[in-house]
Amino acid sequence: MTWLLISISNAARSCFAIAPHASPNKIRLAFRGIDGLALDDRGNLSLRADEHSIRQSTPTVYQVIEGMRREIASGYVLLGENEVGFELGPYNKEYPLMIDPVLTYMDAVEEINATLRME
């Protein structure tokens, strides 16, 4: 798995590139310095710290198979206190898988830290 982080304006884009036959279920995002996590009715992830908030949009997940981009159903799953993973629909394990969430800064946030953990 490769993790890329790109910052553009008021958003940070992270992209997970999953190799064929690798398990995306091992990806865990753990957040420190927050008061809580929640999923909204659209599946977006909301992080709260004091009066600040950050929203991470439902991830875009896709594969490129024979030159065609194929979207995969996806969402976040709350795994425990301040920890999330990804829930994915069926996909072809013979091809790489891209998980592409967008982190949007709703307010100025200084003390929220995210940790990527692979089990």
The model's pLDDT over 90-112, given as tens digits with 9 standing for 90+, comes to 999 999 999 987 655 544 344 44
pLDDT value of position 116: 41
Query: Do 44 and 37 meet the contact criterion of CB atoms below 8 Å apart?
Result: no
Specify the DSSP class assigned to residue 57: P
86 contacts 59 by C-beta, under 8 angstroms: yes
The full set of domain ranges for the chain reads 2-118
Say which CATH architecture domain 2-118 belongs to: Sandwich (2.60)
| pLDDT tens string 12-37 | 556 788 999 998 988 888 877 788 88
Residue 7's H or E segment, with its range, is: strand 2-8
Mean pLDDT of the chain: 77
